[in-house]
Amino acid sequence: MMDDGTIRMFEGFRVQHNIARGPAKGGIRFHPTSRSRRSRRWPSWNDLEVRGRRHPFGGGKGGIKGRSAARCRAPSSKRLTRRYAADLSDLFGPESDVPAPDVKHRRARDGVDRDTYSMHERRTELAVVTGSRSRSGAPPAARRPPASG
């Protein structure tokens, strides 16, 4: 449901490529071209990128298609993100697929997908989304203790 009370349908998707090395890792786009031919190739590009850096991840990419999805105000944006995460919560997880913010990902969506996953799992899981901010708004690096030694 949108802010004005209307009901809209959006097309969401998630594509994974080569999860043999580890969980898929890639962004969630809110963009009108999210379901184009190019967006289906992104996971393989992500896979090559992380392989080149010797990271133990596969490639992944997902999104919600539609001009209105990219332009949603905060309340609708949160509901849309929560519905997307709820529908794909069986796919997400630290061992299977770790999504990240991407194009048109607004501050209102920070942490909503992680919170939704945690609710479905009935436990707090912080490692399910990369790039999420804490409740205080501090970036993840600011919350880590300094390196010892």
**Block residue for tokens 């929560």:** 82
Q: 144 vs 24, 52, 80, 134, CA distance in Å?
A: 24, 26, 30, 11
Say how far apart CA 52 and CA 71 lie, in whole Å.
35
pLDDT at position 105, please?
63
pLDDT at position 142, please?
43
pLDDT at position 106, please?
60
Q: Is the pTM of this model over 0.85?
A: no
pLDDT at position 53, please?
84
Count of CB atoms situated within 10 Å of the CB of 148: 4
Q: 61 vs 1, 58, 74, CA distance in Å?
A: 25, 10, 23
pLDDT tens-digit profile, the chain (149 residues): 677 888 888 888 888 888 888 898 888 888 776 666 666 777 887 787 877 888 888 888 888 887 666 677 777 778 888 898 899 888 898 889 988 877 666 655 668 888 898 998 899 888 888 765 555 444 444 444 443 33
At the fourth CATH level, the homologous superfamily of domain 11-132 is Leucine Dehydrogenase, chain A, domain 1 (3.40.50.10860)
Say how far apart CA 52 and CA 75 lie, in whole Å.
39
* Catalytic-residue membership of 61: yes
pLDDT at position 77, please?
79
Instruction: Determine which one of 61, 65, 78, 104 is catalytic.
Output: 61
pLDDT at position 147, please?
36
